[in-house]
Every structure is written in C-alpha cells, then in structure tokens.
Amino acid sequence: MAAAGPDPLFSLRNNFYLGAYQAAINNSEVPNLSPEDAVERDALVFRSYIALASYPLVISEIDDSAATPLQAVKLLAIYLSGPDKKEMVVSSLRELLGDPAVGNNPVLRLIAGIIFMHEQDYNEALKYTNAGGTMELHALNVQIFIKMHRSDYAEKQLRIMQQVDEDHTLTQLANAWLSLAVGGSKIQEAYLIYQDFSEKYPMTSLVLNGKAVCCMHMGNFDEAETLLLEALNKDAKDPETLANLVVCNLHLGKPSSRYLSQLKLSHPNHMLVKRSLSAEENFDRAVQTIA
C-alpha cells in the first residue's frame, strides 16, 4: 500500500465509480505514479473502456506479458464481447485463480466476482469476493447479497465499509443500493445520496438512473421520466436507462415499445429483454391453446 498522503488516483477512481467513464479515460494521465499505482490506473482506464462497450480495444491493447490485474480485465472484456467466449473465459479465469502466485490478487478476485455474478452463480462469486480486502470487493459483496435477497448479509458488508470510510463514494453507493433493496422509508435515504452526488459531481447516467429509480419507488413517475430522458441524452444506448424508461412509461400510460426495441437491439441479453421474450412466448402458447 502507498504511504499515507494524497491519493493520486482519487479523481480517476471517483469518476469510474460514478459512471463518468469518458472523464476517467480523458483525465488518466497522472505523473510520477508508482509501478503498483500505474497498474491500478491502467486497470481502471481499461474497465472504463469496457463500461463503454469498447471491448476490442481492451482485448487488443492488453498483451500476454501484462500484469495479473490487466490480464483479469482483459478476460472480462472477452467475456462481455460475445456469448461464444464465455466458457473459455471461465476456464482461463479458474486457471489464474488456482495459481498460488497470483490467485489472491484483489483485482483478479473482483473480476471473478463480476463474471460469476453475470453467470448468476452467486455462491461461486462469493468464494472469491467474500474475504474482502478492498472497498470494491466489499461493494461487490453488497451487490451479490442483494441479488441473493440477503439484505442482512449486505448490511454487514455495508457496516464494514462504513467502519473503513463512511464518506467513501462506494460506501455511499452501497448504502443507496441497500436502501433501494430494503424499500419503504429507506427510499428517501437513497434519493438523498444520489442527490448529494448530483450536487457534488458532474451528472452521469448512473446517478440519474439512481435518482429516477428512487422516484419510481416513491410514485413520482413524471420526475423519473425527466431524469431518464436526461440520462438518455448522455448515452442513448445505456441499458439501464432504456430498461427504466420502459418501466416508467408503462406506469405513465405512455408507449414504451421504442425503448424496448432499442434495448433488444443493443443489449439482447438484458434481463428485461429476456423477461419480455418469455412473456411473449407464454402468451403465444396460451393463444394457440385457446385456438
């Protein structure tokens, strides 16, 4: 770990955590970094490109001699680039994780958690993330436990993060995620966290979507639509914005088919697309049965 003092990567990390991916890339030239910090910087930049779906760039720029964290990030890019690569990536990932020399690398464990979460194999994800060690690993644990409907365990992870740094961006985000999962009076708490981010930092699709989901939970669908349309102006292909617009418009009694069509085209494996297709198939079967 670096000696106590100003964190040279604070701004880069913060941009990444809040979804300001292009800003993270554009402002990544930090002078006089230690070799360890330089690898972390490169990993965050490549992960920002992944978040922008620039998978081929990441795959082509990280070669076989790169440090373990970058090899892990490359595997994530390959995994997300197409369904035909998933089996190979999981096999390569297990090989790296089984290597005593590098298997405990926190970025490698983080990427393993992300990939197995995508696979919806939450127990496997927790094998590599549950020990924690970094704020990102704890934050990912919160996400995994929420997906497993174990808000009690998610809350324990949040408490650990609050003990380390209550004001950390990831601690605040994890608090908002958990508040949304718990619901009820906690929704207002989540909204205030996203509102605070929007006042402190440039607005991103991630923050706008967070505020919009809070608004929908509170029944404020008009405000949610305004926030989501602003997010759509920032990124017309963002899957969460499109999915949230579908839901929001249904509640407002407005047409949502265009947003759903966009989501199907740009993110065919999104959960909402899969549910929509499943509902259509069930409906068709029901009609044929009646006929």
pLDDT in tens, the chain (291 residues): 444 567 899 999 999 999 999 999 999 999 999 999 999 999 999 999 999 999 999 999 999 999 999 999 999 999 999 888 899 999 999 999 999 999 899 999 999 999 999 999 999 999 999 998 999 999 999 999 999 999 999 999 999 999 999 999 999 999 999 999 999 999 999 999 999 999 999 899 999 999 999 999 999 999 999 999 999 999 888 999 999 999 999 999 998 888 888 888 877 777 777 776 666 556 555 655 665
The end-to-end CA distance of the chain, in Å, is: 69
CA distance 26 to 201: 16
CA distance 93 to 75: 7
Domain range list for the chain: 187-290
pLDDT value, residue 269: 72
Q: Are residues 89 and 83 in contact, defined by beta-carbon separation less than 8 angstroms?
A: no
DSSP string, 249-279: HHHHT---HHHHHHHHHH-TT-HHHHHHHHH
> CA 148, 232, 80, 190 torsion: positive or negative?
negative
Q: Are residues 165 and 175 in contact, defined by beta-carbon separation less than 8 angstroms?
A: no
227 to each of 96, 185, 194, how far by Cα in Å?
42, 21, 12
**CA-based radius of gyration for the chain:** 20
Phi-psi region of 94 (alpha: psi -120 to 50; beta: other; left: phi over 0): alpha
Q: Are residues 227 and 205 in contact, defined by beta-carbon separation less than 8 angstroms?
A: no
> What CATH number was assigned to the domain covering residues 187-290?
1.25.40.10
Burial-class residue 290 by CB neighbours within 10 Å (0-12, 13-18, 19+): exposed
| φ, ψ at 274 (rounded to 5°) | -60, -40
Q: Are residues 212 and 230 in contact, defined by beta-carbon separation less than 8 angstroms?
A: no
Q: What is the pLDDT of residues 254-263, one digit of tens each?
A: 988 888 888 8
**Lookup: tokens for 96:** 């790296």
